[in-house]
Amino acid sequence: MDKVGETTLHIDLNALEHNYMFLKSKLKGDTKFLAVVKAFAYGSDMVVIAQKLESLEVDYLAVAYVKEGVLLREAGIKLPILVLHPQPTNFGELIDHSLEPSLYSPKILTLFLEVAADKKLKEYPVHIKFNTGLNRLGFWENDVDYILKHLQERNELKILSVFSHLAASEDSKEKEFSNVQINIFKKICEDISQKLGSVPFRHMLNTSGIINYPEAQFEMVRSGIGLYGYGNDAQIDAELKPVATLKTIISQMHKIEPHESVGYNRAYKSDRYRITATLPLGHADGIGRQYGNGKAHVYINGKKAPIIGNVCMDMIMVDVTEIDCKEGDEVIVFGENYSAEDFAASANTISYEILTAISSRVKRVVTQ
């Protein structure tokens, strides 16, 4: 990986392939794989990631919103794309770009049916989302008859899959709750299959579910964070490779005398003679204020440099008193040897948040 001259997010497609093959190895031979590329592929580059996944022959992609799916279609992605949280105002655009909606409530179902009828669609593929305990989106178990009543006498839509989402698949203390969810989902699917007269394919497992509940693979699984190198478990993390590495450089160094302050609101005051380095990234780049005041650190020439004072919009300051370094030297914020999970944990948050927060103004460099 080349040395950087500015704040840069390196995206390693070889790591993506490694993670996909690792997760794929946990599946039965006929289990389909849905790759989640929402939120700009967890803060990396959605188009580049989707193109790589398409070359790896994943079965499905998933995005959160319609405009994400449109971006992929306009980039030439041909794979089927599930939109997990479509909004009625975008239904026409969704259909025009051959995207497949998750229908998760009576309102969404009836409104999509209206648009489908206006466009004279026939057997357009849809996915029915059920709430089995996450209590975020989804029909209830007792909504099956309502759904089928609206669909069986019409031909605009075809139920391609039925799915749900585990609430705590990474937490061994919640195994009983997860198994309750799985059993509820099985009953829902049996009910739908009997009354529909056909069998939609089923999917429920996320990354942690793939690892911890192999018996519930059904016909397809979904993975997001695992593809990007994080498995919500130290043992699994050791098997995966972070796709994204965030690097920057030292812009300027200062010699600070005892009792001098650094940054806004004088949040840091030196206890002795110290040397600080200013780095060109801040909360506008995704490094929030919660990482300041000694909570998180970066690596410079292999050594830890704690963030001092308040994080600024475009800059952070770090203590380099004990580090042999100079202006222009490279800085690792997170990556293979100091993961985004480690960095996020310093501020009591998770890898998902820091990864998806990285601003679009940060330069992306792809390696493969």
Mean pLDDT calculated for residue range 171-188: 97
290, 281 Cβ separation under 8 angstroms: no
Q: Provide the CATH number for the domain around residue 136.
A: 3.20.20.10
Say if 22 falls within a structural domain.
no
Share of the chain above pLDDT 90, in %: 95
Say if 213 falls within a structural domain.
yes
User: What six digits make up the tokens of 35?
Assistant: 């790759």
Q: What is the pLDDT of residues 123-156, one digit of tens each?
A: 999 999 999 999 999 999 999 999 999 998 889 9
Q: State whether 221 and 266 are in the same domain.
A: no
Q: Provide the CATH number for the domain around residue 282.
A: 2.40.37.10
Q: State whether 288 and 205 are in the same domain.
A: no
Q: What is the pLDDT of residues 244-293, one digit of tens each?
A: 999 999 999 999 999 999 999 999 999 999 999 999 999 999 999 999 99
pLDDT on residue 3: 86
Q: What is the pLDDT of residues 308-318, one digit of tens each?
A: 999 999 999 99
Q: What is the pLDDT of residues 323-367, one digit of tens each?
A: 999 999 999 999 988 999 999 999 999 999 999 999 999 999 999
Q: State whether 293 and 350 are in the same domain.
A: yes
Say if 39 falls within a structural domain.
yes
pLDDT on residue 2: 75
- Mean pLDDT score across all residues of the chain: 96
pLDDT on residue 140: 97
What total number of domains does the chain contain?
Answer: 2
Question: Does the pLDDT of residue 238 top 80, yes or no?
Answer: yes
Which residues are catalytic, by number? 38, 264
pLDDT on residue 199: 83
Q: Could you tell me where the beta strands, DSSP code E, fall in the chain?
A: 8-12, 32-36, 60-63, 81-83, 100-103, 124-129, 157-163, 201-203, 220-223, 244-249, 252-256, 261-262, 268-269, 274-279, 297-300, 303-308, 316-319, 330-334, 363-367
The number of residues in the chain equals 368
Say if 139 falls within a structural domain.
yes
Q: State whether 85 and 205 are in the same domain.
A: yes
Range of 308's domain? 244-367
Q: State whether 214 and 251 are in the same domain.
A: no
Say if 44 falls within a structural domain.
yes
User: What six digits make up the tokens of 88?
Assistant: 């009625």
Q: State whether 90 and 159 are in the same domain.
A: yes
Task: Quote the CA–CA distance of 70 and 51 in Å, as a whole number.
Answer: 14
Q: State whether 45 and 184 are in the same domain.
A: yes
Q: State whether 185 and 65 are in the same domain.
A: yes
